[in-house]
Chain A
Amino acid sequence: MELTELTITKAHEGLKKKDFSAVELCQHFLDKIEKADKKIQALLTISQDLAISQAKKVDKIISKGKEIPILAGIPCVIKDNILVEGVRCTAGSKILENYIAPYDASVIKRLKEEEAVILGKTNMDEFAMGASGERSAFFPTKNPHDLTRVPGGSSSGSAAAVAAKMTCYALGSDTGGSIRQPASFCGVVGLKPTYGAVSRYGLIAMASSLDQIGPITKTVEDAKIVFDVIKGKDEMDSTSVNLKSEILNPKSEIRNLRIGVPKEYFIKGMDPEVEKIIKTAIKKYQELGAKIKEIFLPHTEYAIAIYYIIVPSEISANLARYDGIKYGLSKVKSQKSKVKSLLDVYLKSREEGLGDEVRRRIMLGTYALSAGYYDAYYLRAQKVRTLIREDFKKAFEKVDFILTPVTPTPAFKLGEKIEDPLLMYLCDVFTSPVNLAGLPAISIPCGKIGKLPVGLQIIGKPFEENNILKVAQIYENIRSNN
């Protein structure tokens, strides 16, 4: 077996048995990147020296006969909105093109404590604003299953790199679907944890009340391994919490499970092949003895409108920090006579450094929060958000999990939706309600249309990631046995 095919568990075993060294493993992935990434363009920065030095350290530990943690020596890539000290961190934006991260994000700190090997930083829609990867200020990443199609977004490079075996696993971030949608389009596993389950310290903020970091992996087991390392309370993020009891309910045997299928997630205009694949997957659970119930989430149709009021509002505040004064692209030294005052520095630095979608959202958010409009947009959106939460709460009184498609269609063509912002926003129709309610959800591969993967979304109760992972594992087992 090619070393780049290995899952985390298998690579860990190989390292322990000395079938290969950590440096060899790392080099295999670096070679694969060298070969495959010319076409796929998943990486923005390759941190070769860092990776090799981390791998050497692991080999030293192994040679001393010591135990190694599960992620030690296992190569990973990191979405470029998560800070890795000393490595360039662009968030896919021109305004941070030359920004070198001054410290490690808390998730990176935890990976480094495990002696992880960081191969590089992955491409993304600028500041995570997009669903296709085409909003990267640098270049669009391609879908490894079909190079004429998008990999999804905004964790485009992370999902594409895992799918193309350029890394063993990746970290992404999910604000309205940015882990699950690209995982679905690329045929890999993507977990969006409950809001608060993973520290956001060192994650470049988009919408702070929704952003979460999570793993993108080849298998459900690997997603659990990475999640277990990065989860938990961190003093640097006051919204982070420790997860409650990890012990699974013994009653969570498949035959006792109640699975909800929301009527509102099977809509007109949906690809009939996607619907068929999802319904077949749901049927598999039924055959194993789970009880399938039709449920109702009646406010689903308002999720996109709520999401695109709340998110731009938070963006307009969060992105005020890119001012050409503290760091990033600046016109302060511009010789042009137009940049005379402090205001000119702001206007010109932000005009040159921020891309179309980012500017559109800043404008939208500023408008929604401006005098006279606050009640009509932002406050109203927050109130309907409460109704979305209540929909889920009521549903979870009757069922243990909710199964849905991740997206209404498989990966679309590059360029297909880029001209129409609203059309692109609608990509988040099945994923953004989960963020608005702060719930955990996973996307797992469950079939293909031609060569294009389709993902199944499993939504669970708050902080019950372990149960979601268990239910996802059941499905993965059936699929790999067939």
Chain B
Amino acid sequence: MITKEEVKHIAKLARLGLSEKEIEKLQRELSSILDYFEKLKEVDISGIEPTTHSILVEDVMRNDETIANRKSQIAKKMLELAPETKDGYLKVKSIL
């Protein structure tokens, strides 16, 4: 069983606000799901390579250049979606 403190710590890492009631609920639910994962310990994995993607994935590079016209249009649309902007920048609250 994971502890309440662990739940709070994970929530903080995930930047997820939780109510007191939810912390208890998640403590129970996460514990039972993690118990289920124990099943994987039955498998001998010595010498087995991990799979990240099912197909061979290679890095694909393009020239790092801006496409003037397209950029300005998309940037404008993107900024319109932001809750607060100032002078073409996203505005955020103080971090200190």
Q: Give the interface of A toward B (CB within 8 A).
A: 99-100, 102-103, 194-196, 209, 235, 238-239, 241, 299, 301-302, 304-306, 308-309, 316, 320, 323-328, 330, 332-333, 339-348, 350-351, 354, 359-360, 362-364, 366-367, 370, 377, 379-387, 389, 421-422, 436-439, 462
- Which 10 residue pairs spanning A and B have beta carbons closest together? A438-B54, A351-B17, A382-B50, A347-B17, A327-B81, A330-B83, A238-B60, A102-B77, A346-B15, A383-B45
Q: Give the interface of B toward A (CB within 8 A).
A: 2, 6-7, 10-11, 13-19, 22, 26, 29-30, 32-34, 36-37, 39-41, 43, 45, 48-55, 57-60, 62, 74, 77-78, 80-84, 90-95
- Report the separation of the CA atoms of residues A99 and B78 in the bound assembly, to the nearest whole angstrom: 11
- Report the separation of the CA atoms of residues A305 and B2 in the bound assembly, to the nearest whole angstrom: 18
Q: List 17 A-B contacts (CB under 8 A).
A: A99-B81, A325-B90, A333-B83, A342-B94, A344-B93, A345-B92, A363-B26, A367-B30, A370-B13, A381-B40, A383-B45, A383-B48, A384-B40, A385-B50, A385-B51, A386-B51, A387-B45
> Are A102 and B53 touching (Cβ within 8 A)?
no
- Report the separation of the CA atoms of residues A166 and B56 in the bound assembly, to the nearest whole angstrom: 39
- With beta carbons under 8 angstroms apart, the residue of B43, B50, B55 that contacts A302 is B43
- Report the separation of the CA atoms of residues A396 and B58 in the bound assembly, to the nearest whole angstrom: 25
- Report the separation of the CA atoms of residues A209 and B56 in the bound assembly, to the nearest whole angstrom: 11
Across-interface contacts of B7 in A (CB, < 8 A)? 363
Least Cβ–Cβ distance between B47 and chain A, in angstroms: 9
A388 (CB) vs chain B CBs: closest residue: B51
> Are A333 and B81 touching (Cβ within 8 A)?
no
- Report the separation of the CA atoms of residues A324 and B49 in the bound assembly, to the nearest whole angstrom: 38
Across-interface contacts of A326 in B (CB, < 8 A)? 78, 81-82, 90
Among B7, B10, B83, B94, the most chain A Cβ lie within 10 Å of the Cβ of B83
Across-interface contacts of B40 in A (CB, < 8 A)? 302, 305-306, 309, 380-381, 384
- Report the separation of the CA atoms of residues A377 and B7 in the bound assembly, to the nearest whole angstrom: 17
A377 (CB) vs chain B CBs: closest residue: B37
- Report the separation of the CA atoms of residues A195 and B30 in the bound assembly, to the nearest whole angstrom: 30
Across-interface contacts of B77 in A (CB, < 8 A)? 102-103
- Report the separation of the CA atoms of residues A389 and B90 in the bound assembly, to the nearest whole angstrom: 44
A348 (CB) vs chain B CBs: closest residue: B17
Across-interface contacts of A320 in B (CB, < 8 A)? 15
> Are B82 and A366 touching (Cβ within 8 A)?
no
Least Cβ–Cβ distance between B46 and chain A, in angstroms: 9
- With beta carbons under 8 angstroms apart, the residue of A195, A235, A363, A437 that contacts B11 is A363
- With beta carbons under 8 angstroms apart, the residue of A350, A381, A421 that contacts B15 is A350
Least Cβ–Cβ distance between B58 and chain A, in angstroms: 8
A316 (CB) vs chain B CBs: closest residue: B14
Least Cβ–Cβ distance between A346 and chain B, in angstroms: 4
A358 (CB) vs chain B CBs: closest residue: B16
- With beta carbons under 8 angstroms apart, the residue of B10, B41, B55 that contacts A366 is B10
CB-CB under 8 A for A360 and B26, given A308-B33, A366-B14, A386-B50: yes
> Are A341 and B30 touching (Cβ within 8 A)?
no
Across-interface contacts of B84 in A (CB, < 8 A)? 330, 332-333
Across-interface contacts of A299 in B (CB, < 8 A)? 43
> Are A102 and B93 touching (Cβ within 8 A)?
no
> Are B26 and A422 touching (Cβ within 8 A)?
no
B42 (CB) vs chain A CBs: closest residue: A302
- Report the separation of the CA atoms of residues A328 and B45 in the bound assembly, to the nearest whole angstrom: 42
